[in-house]
Structure 1
């Protein structure tokens, strides 16, 4: 009987420990993430809570288009990760000197992604030539006629970008770009940028032969492949 009582007491104690541990872990699994989105400095805030297993994120994208201020855009966003958070930062310079930078950062403590205290770490565009030359072009109608571009700074890879951008509901435009990029931009698949575009990227080491591309009728195919 004494042995039975001892085992009973032990099991009760273990059960109590398990319940306490479960409650403690459950209470720690949820914490607040800053939830805000800004377009060129104009922000909308909507605080909410998310699970620590997914994490908070801080995200910023910037598109610079020379002499076309209406096309330039900077998007900042902080919120809860819907899936496991993966960090990524890269930059690219495409034909016509279209410059795009992207930074997605993760953190796992309460309000750790607040914009007011977050350090922005977009890859910087450096003017010093690095010896790499790439074909470059950019279009949103599927046609791309490359011209040579001397790469600068850490953009040491020749990149080719292909994707779709949704416009006016079911309609889309075919994005095609070539130029210089950081190594972290290579091999991206189905990445959403600037909210309404999805892209794939392919890289080489430079000095690729210039080629032309015409595929205005491939929008439907690309939508199926990238969505």
Structure 2
């Protein structure tokens, strides 16, 4: 997880405020679900959305998020799980859609095995986001010009490809942040490699639904 300064910066970048409805897509350990729960407060609503495509993992991601939702003070959190493309069916319209280090997985065999494509998923998110809402993507950067070629092998994606795909669904790029950039990342090694783990060059995009 990031230091406090970066966490605060990303909350502001995502425009999560008191009363916001946020969908945290594939929440992992739930760190961001907790952060958004605190930021949105009792009038907010946080959906900790575990894609059915990964619900079978041995670490029981759905069960872990249900346990998180029962923590004291987490009454504004709801753990939900469904196929990626069914996200609109199990959530309410959102102010913020949050994908942290997950977008590249839309191009991997694991996620596509159940029929989800990045194009279809982006259209589903467009349907679920409120007008004026934020669709925020933070991910590991691949080398410029590589497109989606390194998503499976290195768990990286070319930021330009992300922008192209998301804008094709109707979103408009509203802002991008360099706060997670690392110019010393060679972009040629897997993100789990000890030499770069936790220090990858990452991009942050905020798209909006006009």
TM-score range, shorter chain: under 0.3
**Rg larger in structure:** 1
Greater strand fraction, Structure 1 or Structure 2? 1
Determine which structure has greater relative contact order: mean sequence separation of CA pairs < 8 Å that are 6+ residues apart, divided by chain length.
2
TM-score of the two chains, using structure 2 as the length reference? 0.26
TM-score of the two chains, using structure 1 as the length reference? 0.25
Greater helix fraction, Structure 1 or Structure 2? 2
